[in-house]
Structure 1
Amino acid sequence: MATLTVWKFDSPTAADEAVSALERLAKQELIIIHDAATVSWAPGAKKPKTRQLRSLTGAGALGGMFWGMLFGLIFFVPFLGAAVGAAAGAIGGSLADVGIDDDFIRAARSQITEGTSALFLLTSGAVVDKVKPEFERYSPELIQSNLTSEQEAELREMISSD
């Protein structure tokens, strides 16, 4: 089963740097990246920039429409008004089937702010003792996942411990 996680970084460029590291690890077959997208919010910018990793294709890939809808709900709906918000709410209801609910959207919206970046990652098969040291050098903070509470606690502990 693939895991969807959202990682926050305290720099607008760190998510892209972490992607580069994860792509190197994927080439070594130490993690399977089914799909990923980044959000980068430069200081002074009115809204964040989003980017789907185009080089990732396959059965597990979520696709541009998924990322566009998700990022629209998280970052752009609050600025668009009630009518568009209601339509987006109806669309967003279908995302709940994959673990993306209102709490997920609120958590991402409140924590990914100006001067930060985030990595939305769909992965499986990580060789933890190899992936952890590479990934933790970017000081990620897990802000959301589709894991159980126990699995999420283990993941947080794994990334934060030395």
Structure 2
Amino acid sequence: MRAAQSRQKSYANNRHRQLEFEVGNKVFLRIELMRGVMRFGKKGKLSPRFVRPFDILDRIGLVAYRVALPPTLSRVHNVFHVSMLRKYIPDATHIINYKPLQLQENLTYTEEPVQIIERTKQVLRNQTIPLVKVVWNNHAINEASWELEDEMRVKYPQLFGGDLDNM
């Protein structure tokens, strides 16, 4: 029995990191991404994102921290579990060019498609599925994703105007 407990303990502690921050440290805050209604609830497609460094105001208990949020997020509770935070390591040589995201009250933001850059057809045994490669705002071209053409036509008909239909 002890051998089994020891083995389980070694598995559990293998990836565990004890995160601790001090008052005045800067941390990134994790947000959830939603690409319109179509992407909501799908597993594996989207990963969590972290946004701008915030100052830690004080520690609450063992695993919670109060964070200084800007006035635009005044309706969001400012106490976060340590799992929602990532350490910010400042680097003077690293210059970040970014457009600030418009965060909603639940710390999410909505992605909108910008352009269709490629089309293809997935051929299965009994059917052919048309796909389009979509570039989303707030993302580079190399982060474009393949989406079902039928769903994109219904949700975003403005992307399918002009000579793209003849492609």
Q: Do both share a fold (TM > 0.5)?
A: no
Normalising by structure 1, what TM-score? 0.26
TM-score, normalization by structure 2: 0.25
The structure with the larger Rg is 2
Higher relative contact order (CA 8 A, sep 6+): 1
More strand by share: 2
